[in-house]
Amino acid sequence: MLKLPRGLLAFRSRNFLLYFCGHLTSQIGSWIEQTAVAWILYELTNSTILLGLGGLCRAAPMILLGLVGGAVADRARRRALLIFTESTMLVVSSIVGALALTGHLQFWHLYLSSLASGTLYAFSVPARQALFPQLVPREALPSAVTLNSLAARSAAFIGPSIAGVALAFSGYALPFLLNAASFLGMLAALAALHMPAAAPAGATVRPRLRQDVMEGVRYLRRSSLLKGVLTLEVLAGIFGHNSALITIMARDVLDAGPQGLGSLLSALAAGALFGMLLMVVFHTERRGRIIPIAGAVYTLLLIGFGLSGSLALSLALLFGLGAADGVWGVARNTVVQLAVPDQLRGRAMSVVFLATRASTPLGHSTSGFIASLVGGPGTLVFGAALIGVTVATVGRRIPALAATRAEAPDALDATVAARGERAKSEAERR
Chain mean pLDDT for the chain: 79
Q: Give the CA dihedral 131, 135, 137, 139, nearest 10 degrees.
A: -70
Q: What is the pLDDT of residue 115?
A: 92
Q: What is the pTM of this model?
A: 0.66
CB 51 within 8 Å of CB 364: yes
pLDDT digits (tens, 9 = 90+) for 114-133: 999 989 988 888 888 778 77
Q: What is the pLDDT of residue 226?
A: 75
Say if residue 242's pLDDT is above 90: no
Residue 105, helix vs strand vs coil: coil
Largest CA distance in the chain: 84
Q: What is the pLDDT of residue 196?
A: 65
In sequence order, which ranges of 240-358 are alpha helices (DSSP H)? 243-248, 258-281, 290-307, 311-337, 345-353
CA distance 121 to 367: 22
Say if residue 236's pLDDT is above 50: yes
Choice among 146-155, 303-312, 419-428 with the minimum mean pLDDT: 419-428
Say if residue 257's pLDDT is above 80: no
Q: What count of other Cβ atoms lies within 10 Å of the Cβ of residue 410?
A: 11
* SS3 labels along 340-380: CCHHHHHHHHHHHHHHHHHHHHHHHHHHHHHHHHHHHHHHH
Average pLDDT over residues 251-274: 84
Q: How far is CA 141 from the centre of its chain?
A: 17
Domain locations in the chain as residue ranges: 6-429
Q: How confident is the model at residue 387 (pLDDT cuts 50, 70, 90)?
A: very high
Say if residue 357's pLDDT is above 80: no
Average pLDDT over residues 352-356: 69
Say if residue 425's pLDDT is above 70: no
Q: What is the pLDDT of residue 183?
A: 93
Q: Which CATH class is domain 6-429?
A: mainly alpha
pLDDT digits (tens, 9 = 90+) for 287-339: 567 788 888 999 999 999 999 989 999 999 999 999 998 888 777 777 776 66
